Amino acid sequence: MPEVTKARPPGAPPAAAAAGPRRRPRGTRWWQDRRILPYLLIAPAVLLELLVHIVPMIAGVVMSLFRLTVFTIHHWQSAPFAGLSNFALGLNPHGPIGSALWRSFGVTLGYAACVVAGSWLLGMVAAALLNVEFRARGWLRALFLVPYALPLYVAVIVWRFMFQQGTGAINAILARDLHLVSGSTFWLIGGNAFWAMTVTGIWRTWPFAFLILLAALQNIPGELHEAAAVDGASSWRRFRAITLPQLRGINLVLVLVLFLWTFNDFNTPYVLFGGTPPDSANVLSLYIYVNSFSNWNFGLGAAMSVLMLAFLLVISLVYIRAFRAGREADA
């Protein structure tokens, strides 16, 4: 008599799955197993992340706990243990190092706020203008990306030359053509150094904001603007009621990225002013560099770097938490 096969109840696992975990077929190598392949693919990225970021970060935390100076760096294994004294020295607002660190922190916050606001504003205006169909739009888009594609040191050196007191183009335009300042204005020393650094930072950063915002604007359905225009809404009203709400998620991420980039910016102030910047442009990254590699106090410089990292981590976590809370409230 033919063998009767019992019907499998609904929802019951297949026979192969019920037999146990799936084994690797014979004749295949271990790296060809589909369960192992995803981990093998991400292994190079994880290894590079460890070597480039995680290991130096751990080394910086360890260095901040020792008195690594020019006298002990040759025998760093036997450097005296400092504990949290380097952190206390940097956070003490009444000491010369701590007061300078807090002043540099304020300059960095002001610099980051001005650059982020200026970059977002220019990027938003340019993206809104170039989101409309007209001739030569592609050429203008490519032209606006030139500052972002230009090598950093080349761009900042050009701005440094333009800000020179005697031969710079800034004084020539503002003094000779527009009569807004005197021809002998110094831009790289004194209080004007902060604005020179800010203008250079905005010029470098705003094309990135323009690129991100333009891509986001192109994803907004045109029917929304058309319906609002039919209802009689003005351009400014459509921008506030449609464009800005649609860009809320992109703007929150963009502002955070620009803030982190600008707050960590070292190349712009260093190329503009060198290792001895004026007080108005002495940002935190440059102050840490001076203490570490000019004063040869590596332990103190590492402690300042850890404090800077901790501040940025707290800002990022609070920002992301607020962003999630806002999305849940909107939902």
Q: Is the pLDDT of residue 151 over 80?
A: yes
User: What's the whole-number mean pLDDT along residues 320-331?
Assistant: 70
SS3 assignment, position 36: coil
pLDDT at residue number 130: 87
* Rounded Cα gap, residues 89 and 256, in angstroms: 30
* Rounded Cα gap, residues 226 and 232, in angstroms: 10
* Rounded Cα gap, residues 273 and 81, in angstroms: 35
Read off the pTM. Answer: 0.81
pLDDT at residue number 1: 46
Owner of token pair 């002001």 = 110
User: What's the whole-number mean pLDDT along residues 261-288?
Assistant: 90
Q: What is the pLDDT of residues 209-256, one digit of tens each?
A: 999 999 999 888 888 878 888 888 888 888 888 888 888 888 988 999
Q: At 147, list the tokens.
A: 């500052």
* Rounded Cα gap, residues 278 and 197, in angstroms: 11
User: What's the whole-number mean pLDDT along residues 258-276?
Assistant: 90
| CATH class label, 46-330 | mainly alpha
pLDDT at residue number 7: 54
First to last CA, the chain: 64
Q: What is the pLDDT of residues 81-98, one digit of tens each?
A: 888 888 998 888 888 888
The residue extents of the domains of the chain are 46-330
Torsion over CA: 106, 108, 208, 271 (sign): positive
pLDDT at residue number 206: 92
Q: What is the pLDDT of residues 163-221, one digit of tens each?
A: 887 767 777 777 777 777 766 778 888 888 999 999 999 999 999 999 999 999 988 88
